[in-house]
Every structure is written in C-alpha cells, then in structure tokens.
Structure 1
Amino acid sequence: MRLKNILFPFLGLALSGCMSGQQPLDTLYANKDNNLALFFPSPIRQAVTGNDNFTFTYNRELAGYLGLLQGIPGPASDLLVITTDGSVYAFVIAFSDTLVHTYRFLRKVDRIGNERPDEESVSGMERTEGVDLRYADYCRALLQKEYRAMATKQKRGIRLQLEHVVYDGGEVYMIIKIQNRSDIDFGMAYLDVVRVNGSQKRRASFQETGIHVRYTHDRPDMVRSHRSERFVYVVPKFVMGDGERLKLELGELHGSRKVVLTKKLR
C-alpha cells in the first residue's frame, strides 16, 4: 500500500453503499512463479490485499495503470483497488499452481462503484440535493475570503498550502491552495487527507488513518504552469489528540512530483 498502516474508513461505503445491489466478484488466480498483470483504465492510486499470502505491486510514484499480482498457497482472500478517478475495483483472489491467463485488461464496467458517489452509482442511497447545496453555498462564501496560510510545503515548483480550517456542525471545511511555480502543468492524481499518530523520529510507531472526503468544491484536475488554484475539502468532524498531526499528500498524474504537508491542529 502507498501509505504504511493506512486504514480505509470508506471501504464499507465502496463495497456496499456504492453498489445498487450486491454482485458476485470475479476470482483472480495467482502463484509465486508467474505474474498476473492487471491493466486498469485509470492509474492506480491505492491497493490492498486481505492477507499476506498475496502481493499486489504497482508504481506508487508515477500512478501507473499496471498492477502485478502474485500469491503463495493458502486461503483465498480479496483485492481492493482504487484508481485516481475514484473508481473502486474488488476481486476474490486465490492460489493456483497453473494460470490459464497471465494478464487482464479491466474496463470501467468492471468497477463495483465509486468512492465518491455520482449520479450513476447512488441509486438506492439516501442523498439529498439540499445537503450538497448547503456545502456548495458555504464553500463559495469561504473562497471569497483571503486567509493567512496555516501551513505551507513546496517541492519541485509545486507549493501546497493549508490556508484555513473551519469547524461547522459535523463537518470540517479545509481551504486548500496549490500553486504551480514550475514551467510544466501539474495534473492532480490525488490529494489525500490523513491523520498521523506517532513520533516523527520513530517511523516504526507511525499509524496513518485516511479521512474520507465527503465533498469537494472547485477541486481542479490540472494546475497550469505559473497558475494557482484554491478549493475546499469537506470531511467529517475530527479532533486531533496528543501526538496526532494532519497530513495532506499531493501526487502528480503521469509524473513523479509529490508534496507532503503536515500540520498539528489544536
């Protein structure tokens, strides 16, 4: 996995809420002598297997389309893959001495849903337009104001800023700014929000828990050269404990640039 010890709080949503009806999962077979190559229609952002009998490797830095599955004898498990467009793919995985196929090309229709429900995947779910309108109106009002940045991190010409955090009811609104000071356009592969619990000096004690983003407002897919973009993330309300920090991790689509910003919130 790209984040060590990361949890998936939205897994239940992806596997149940985003599916209009429970559908049987395809079974993939793997062994230790051959790679099963899986080609996805969008770059892989995150992936996890259910147990250590199976390994799924992919390019974590460049967000590639290819993933390689291998396995050793043992009980069957499952594989969850989330691509940069938010599509969720899930499979049963099992060991086999011989493989009939050593590659597979996935299509959008093979996904089980989307981590951020859209019009095609929310049938049967309770979601009102009024809630989204409330988010949108408040986000627009927040973006009309200017803030002194709470935290800033810059790397290879890309500056990531956490401008302001607003607690409102059961949500937290994060005003974020990305500035591209380089001569190359920056395509956004992901911007993850994570809680980090542990010492910065003792990496082995780290625990990182992903925070599900309920709503995004004006989030760009691309930040053009020498331009900046401001947008809002809405996440469930949280309170940081002692030794906890908020982390924003920004990755580039079809590139290797990555910016990681951490901030202790009081």
Structure 2
Amino acid sequence: MRGSFEEFVTFYGTPHRSLLVGSIGYCTLMIGLRANPAVFGVLVTLAALAVSWRASGTSTSERTPAVALLTLVALSGVLNDFRLVGFVAAAAVVATPLITAIGNKNSPRLFQQALRVMVAWLPASLTAASLTILAFRESSSVGLLLSVVYIHDLGLGLGMRDHSRRHWAPFFGISGALALLWTSIQISASPISPGWFWPFALLVAAAIPLGRIITRLVSSEAGQDLQKFSSYFLVTPLWVSAINFLFA
C-alpha cells in the first residue's frame, strides 16, 4: 500500500530541479502583472510557449502548428473579451486536425498527432488567455492565484527533495496553498470575502491536484515539460469563473 502511494507521489510530484525555473517564472509574471495587463498577457503567453514547445513533436515542423495556435488563442486574451477567446479557441480546435493533416497521409498517425497538438496548445493557451482577461478586470485575484499555485508547487517540490518525507509532499503543497489563501483573505489582501474562503479552498484543494493528474495522463510523452504548468490547467478556468461570478 505504501509502495503504491509512493508511486503516486512520484507520478504527481514536481522534480525539485524545476523549482528554480518556477520561481523565476513566478517573479517575472508578478512583475508583468504590476506593470500592465497587456505586458502580463505577453509574458504569460511566453511562459505557456516555454512549457508547451516540445509537447507536440520532436521537430520544428511538428511543433509549429501547436505554437501558432497557442499564440493566437493566448494573445486573444489581450483584447479582454471572453467571447472572443471562446470563438478563437473553437476555431483553433476545428483547425487542428486540418492543419495536422497537411503532409500526413497516415490516418492512425494523423489522429495521434492531432491529439498531441491539441494537448500541447489547448490547456496552456486557455490558461494564459483567462489569466490575461482577469488581469484587466481584477488583477489582485490573478496575483493571488499565481501565489497560491506557486506556494503549492514550492511545497510539493521541496517535499520531493527528501526521500524519507516525500510521501508528505502533496500535503505540504496543498497546506501551503490553503494557508496563503486564508491569510490573504483575513488581511483583506484579496477581493475575496472571508465568507467565501471555504468554497475557494475546496476549489484550490480539488482543482490543482486534478489538473496535475489529468495533464500527466493525457500527455505522458511530454509530461515533464507540461507538468511545470499543469497546476494551473484546471484551477485557472474555475478560479476565473468564480471571480467573474462574484464581481460581475
């Protein structure tokens, strides 16, 4: 039983060597958020490209479609319109198999490559676009989300460094994230009222782990790169939807 849980922790966890990259990315995004929402949008798009670059293939020709679609959808968030992002994303989803089919006549491989391209660009681009739009409307909630996810990944990564305590790593990550969320709400550093702590706590505690697990399951070949961004993939759209519901 313990062996199975340790295998899950290894599957779920963040390699501690990724902590430096994550810290640099977090600081860069926070600086961009303080500067300007449009600047933040460009920076978060570059971050999404960095983790998705190798996910869609091994050659430049294989990676180009995913990079182009990711950039298009992610940067559409700079226009601050959720409906526009949805329209662009839907068009990109339809275009993905058509673009993949160019020069690829093998039907089984076509499906696999189209799925690989979709996994490479869709979650990262929607995450980037959602964060960008929210930065225009409620930047403090974006900063809080970035900080909550960063603390989660930091606790998870530090827990993974010590083999004797690595089975506690997921607990360290979630506990740190919830502690930061609770503190920010109590000192009024976020727009979320104290009465909404538990709904947001449940959202964070469920969505971050599920996002990481789903990402690893659907992107096994490129999980190492996408895993650096995977904590955002599910919690971001839910967080953005909740903030819009509260402050619409």
Flag the structure with higher strand content.
1
Q: TM-score, normalised by structure 1?
A: 0.24
Flag the structure with higher helix content.
2
Q: TM-score, normalised by structure 2?
A: 0.26
Q: Which has the larger radius of gyration?
A: 1
